[in-house]
Structure 1
């Protein structure tokens, strides 16, 4: 599966709130780094991250654009509440080996009525 096609399928699994389906897109030793959080390493840890996220908030990924360049796909997204972000996915042999996402964590927490951490 080409990177663009994989990310389109990833967005569908995300919108089903399907952590197992999402995890299946990742290589065993993949890294998912949402820059507002510490990197998550390994398929099972990534599955747990999604499961915890879906339990905490109703999340929706409305695809605005997907660009492909070689092994990379770039996703521009928004959600129904107005949050916007982008993700970079490196795909090797049909699996995500690295993902980095950029979004505003403070806005996300406020939109979902979640506590704001004090550091």
Structure 2
């Protein structure tokens, strides 16, 4: 599968809040770094983080664009509440090795009526 096709399947799993299915798209030693959070290391930790996030808020990813350059793919997305973001995915041998996401956490927390993190 091309990187773009893997991302399309990843989005389908995201939109059904299926953390177990999503985890299968990651290498065992993958890193997921959402820039407003500490990096998550390893497939199992990534799966657990998605489970926690799906339990906290209803999230939907609407694909605006997917760009592909070899092992790299970029996902430009929005959600039904107006939040927008962008994710960069390094896909090696058909699985995500590294993911970095950019989005506004403050807007997300406000839209979902979630508490702000304490320092």
Indicate the TM-score class for this superposition, using the shorter chain for normalisation: over 0.9
CA-based RMSD of the aligned residues comes to: 0.5
Within a 5 Å distance, the mapping from 1:16-95 to structure 2 comes to 16-95=16-95
Report the secondary structure of 2:20's partner residue: helix
3-state SS of the aligned residue for 2:88? strand
Instruction: Give the equivalent residue in structure 1 for 2:5.
Output: 5
Q: Displacement of 1:117 after TM fit?
A: 1.8
CA distance in 1, matches of 2:7, 2:75: 7
Distance 2:97 2:3 in 1: 11
Following superposition, the deviation at residue 118 of structure 1 comes to 3.2
Distance 1:86 1:8 in 2: 14
Work out the CA distance in 2 between the residues paired with 1:104 and 1:28: 28
SS class of match (1:75): strand
Q: Aligned residue pairs: how many? A: 119
**Structure 2 SS opposite 1:63:** strand
Q: Tell me by how many angstroms 1:44 deviates.
A: 0.3
TM-score by length of structure 1 reads 0.98
